[in-house]
């Protein structure tokens, strides 16, 4: 059976470089793996009073179920002020809340992080900022590959198509490595 990766873009922007990176990743998966793309549209701001009154929102539960059905989670993160964007952290915070309608999705789940930035450092500080969060969630973080797409304004064209051959090869290699890790985790290795 094919290895199922769910990718989440941490940007809501229609012309997001990170969503473009996620889209490109979907086209580069090997024959043994698939990548399904999710966005954070519709996820409300975390509010403990809402949670107490109404439980975890439907949009969060829908994303929870998609993650639960996957073998691995790929976070495609922008960098804001040398860290991860609030909208992305907010969604992960909601997803970390227990609910009778939600599966526990983080503990032991294979997770990898990539990201794209128009600047020269390609989200390195944002990716580093995710590390304590991933450790707290108890995921299996795949750290053998690294992908920080810098100068991303030139790596994608105006339509968001990946036009840089070197990045394409780096992304393909990263995805192959992560999918193999997720597959071996799913097999109980």
Which residues contribute to the site for ligand FNR (CB under 6 A)? 11, 13, 16-18, 78-82, 117-119, 121
Rounded to the nearest whole angstrom, what is the least distance from the CB of residue 81 to ligand FNR in the complex? Answer: 5
Rounded to the nearest whole angstrom, what is the least distance from the CB of residue 118 to ligand FNR in the complex? Answer: 5
Q: Which is nearer to ligand FNR, 13 or 27 (CB)?
A: 13
Q: Which is nearer to ligand FNR, 118 or 177 (CB)?
A: 118
For every residue of the chain, which 3-state class applies, written as one string?
Answer: CCEEEEEEECCCCCCCHHHHHHHHHHHCCCCCEEEEEECCCCCCCCCHHHHHHHCCCHHHHHHHHHHHCCCEEEEECCCECCECCHHHHHHHHHHCCCCCCCCCCCCCCEEEEEEECCCCCCCHHHHHHHHHHHHHHCCEECCCCCCEECCHHHHECCCCCECCHHHHHHHHHHHHHHHHHHHHHHCCC
Rounded to the nearest whole angstrom, what is the least distance from the CB of residue 82 to ligand FNR in the complex? Answer: 4
Q: Which is nearer to ligand FNR, 46 or 121 (CB)?
A: 121
């Amino acid at each position: 059976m094919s290895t199922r990766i769910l990718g989440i873009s941490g940007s809501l922007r229609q012309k997001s470089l990170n969503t473009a990176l996620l889209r490109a990743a979907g086209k580069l998966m090997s024959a043994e793996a698939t990548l399904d793309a999710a966005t954070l549209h519709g996820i409300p701001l975390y509010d403990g009073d809402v949670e107490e009154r109404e439980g975890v929102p439907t949009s969060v539960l829908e994303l929870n179920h998609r993650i639960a059905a996957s073998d691995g989670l790929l976070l495609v993160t922008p960098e804001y002020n040398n860290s991860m964007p609030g909208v992305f952290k907010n969604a992960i915070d909601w997803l970390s809340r227990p609910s009778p309608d939600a599966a526990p999705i983080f503990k032991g789940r294979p997770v990898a992080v990539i990201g794209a930035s128009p600047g020269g450092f390609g989200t390195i500080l944002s990716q580093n900022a995710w590390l304590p969060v991933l450790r707290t969630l108890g995921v299996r973080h795949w750290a053998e590959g690294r992908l920080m797409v810098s100068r991303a304004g030139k790596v994608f064209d105006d339509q968001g198509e990946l036009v840089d051959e070197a990045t394409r090869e780096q992304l393909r290699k990263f995805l192959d490595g992560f999918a193999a890790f997720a597959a071996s985790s799913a097999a109980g290795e």
